[in-house]
Amino acid sequence: MTLRRPTNLAAYQSVLLANINRPQSHTRAVYESTGGYRGLRRALGNLSPRDLLQMVRTSGLRGRGGAGFPTGLKWSFLPEDHPGPIYFCVNADESEPGTFVNRVQLELDPHQVLEGIILSCYATRATTAYIYLRYEYPLAMRRMQAAIDECYAAGYLGKNILGAEFSLDVYIHRGAAAYVCGEETGLIESLEGRRAWPRIKPPFPAVEGLFRKPTVVNNVETLACVKQIVDRGVEWFRSIGTLPDPANPRDPGSFGPKLFGLSGHVNRPGCYEAPLGISCRQLIDEFGGGVWKGRKAKAVVPGGLSTGVMTAAELDLPLDFAGPLRAGCLGLGTACAIVLDETYPMIDFLQNSCRFFAHESCGQCTPCREGTHWALAMVDRIKAGRGRLKDLDLLLEIGDSIGIIPGTTICGLADGAAWPIKTTIRKFREELEDYIKGTNPQGYMETEPVERMVGEMI
């Protein structure tokens, strides 16, 4: 049994998106008129960096970028009394398929993100922050730059911010338009001017990151949550969300507000805010107005393509850091759900997914480079009507062999490639087998050894 807090959506007051519908919401004047930067003034006047770090740690805030790593714990890995610079990287690359919630924040409430950045740099003693911004977000780029300029003019950035012993410069760096640039060490390589090839870890960025100096990488939404924690307090933050899953001793709980993306076959796709722990069904029905055209859902990707798929029977699981794991998914990911209606062929989902990851693999690790391409070649062949039933087992073998979790690759892109394959085949095998039998009734190559297929597949 999971200790699940009641989530009364009607009573929930949005905080992360509270500002976005005001006219000129992206300007400092509007942000300050709603209490913006008061938390920063209070923190710089009353809290030491260590106090602020401790506050974030006790809040239980977990990173919103995909992995759900506890933010305060990550910050505490920075070496104490480091003499040289500490860098802060804001991960605004947002390239996970189906994911667009950072974009909403960056375009419509850039000052909330900036206040979070300034507070987080204060807590970590970073003096330079880089916003690594997805290349395809030009409006976010313009609004973020305007917000930075306004902050310098107001004394919220630059030397001795608001008279405190704390200085900070913030720069925007436009991304290199590849998915792997969002992986934190790929991001760092790209910032340094190289191809975004993820680094082998350890050393982790907190010890040796940008320009080989201690570095923090955090997602945009994580930093907006830091601002909310400073404004509203640790108790408020911990009063929202779900308690640790007793069935999972490694789950520290999922606290705080969360942005959920919703796309695919729903009536009202969009970016919504709710407590962590609402169910996928609530997200689809209460926010999204239900599945489109009066149909039912066949499958839902809970948090960006990498997380795999849930079936219609799994939609009541909570969307918190532990919930999707119980459906065999990779995790909560970006909490951006993609709905597939009952008419959508799962072979098409598999093909789209394999095409994406094969295209985005950076090629450093053989299992990822070869595995993603072999998977795509096989799925393309199945789709073209030359599939064999045993291809499904071969695909599962590839899925089980690539990624950080099986321990064969440098970064998590390969896990992200594997989970849609594994969950689709395990949960929709009958449909896929029917497709193979229906499109390849003669059993083309069904009895041939695998080696005979090689020439066919390339």
Q: Which residues bind ligand SF4 (CB under 6 A)?
A: 180, 198, 361-365, 368-369, 409-411, 413-414
Comparison of 117 and 436: residue with beta carbon closer to ligand FMN: 117
The interface region with ligand FMN, picked from 40-48, 78-86, 90-98, 290-298 by CB under 6 A, is 90-98
Q: Where in 95-124 is the site for ligand FMN (CB under 6 A)?
A: 95-96
- Virtual torsion, Cα 12, 17, 18, 23, nearest 10 deg: -150
CB of 272 closer than 8 Å to CB of 283: yes
Contact status: 320 vs ligand FMN (CB under 6 A) = no
Q: Are 98 and 9 in contact (CB under 8 A)?
A: no
Q: Is the peptide bond before 202 cis (omega within 30 degrees of 0)?
A: yes
**Which residue's structure tokens are 């083309």?**
444
In the structure encoding, which two tokens stand for residue 348, read together?
């098409």
Using CB under 6 A, count the residues that bind ligand FMN. Answer: 24
Residue bearing tokens 């320009």: 211
- Smaller CB separation from ligand FMN, 310 or 413: 413
| Distance from C-alpha of 5 to C-alpha of 177, rounded to nearest angstrom | 40
Residue 413 found at the interface with ligand FMN (CB under 6 A): yes
Please report, for residues 388, 415, 435, 438, the alpha-carbon distance to residue 442 in angstroms, rounded to integers and kept in the order given: 10, 35, 13, 9
* Closest-CA residue to 70 (of 188, 225, 195): 225
64 binds, among ligand SF4, ligand FMN, none (CB under 5 to 8 A by kind): ligand FMN
The answer to whether 331 contacts ligand FMN (rule: CB under 6 A) is no
Partner interacting with residue 409 (select from ligand SF4, ligand FMN, none; CB below 5-8 Å by kind): ligand SF4
Out of ligand FMN, ligand SF4, none, what residue 242 binds, judged by CB under 5 to 8 A for its kind, is none
The SS3 assignment for 217 reads: strand
Residues 14-73 that bind ligand FMN (CB under 6 A): 63-67, 69, 71
Token pair listed for 300: 């839902």
Shortest separation between residue 365's beta carbon and ligand SF4, angstroms: 3
Residue 125 interacts, among ligand SF4, ligand FMN, none and using kind-specific CB cut-offs from 5 to 8 Å, with: none
Alpha helices (H) along 329-408: 346-360, 366-381, 389-401
Residue located via tokens 């960096």: 49
The listed partner (ligand SF4, ligand FMN, none) that binds 218, CB under 5 to 8 Å by sort, is ligand FMN
Which residues contact ligand FMN by CB under 6 A?
63-67, 69, 71, 91, 93-96, 179-180, 182-184, 217-219, 222, 411-413
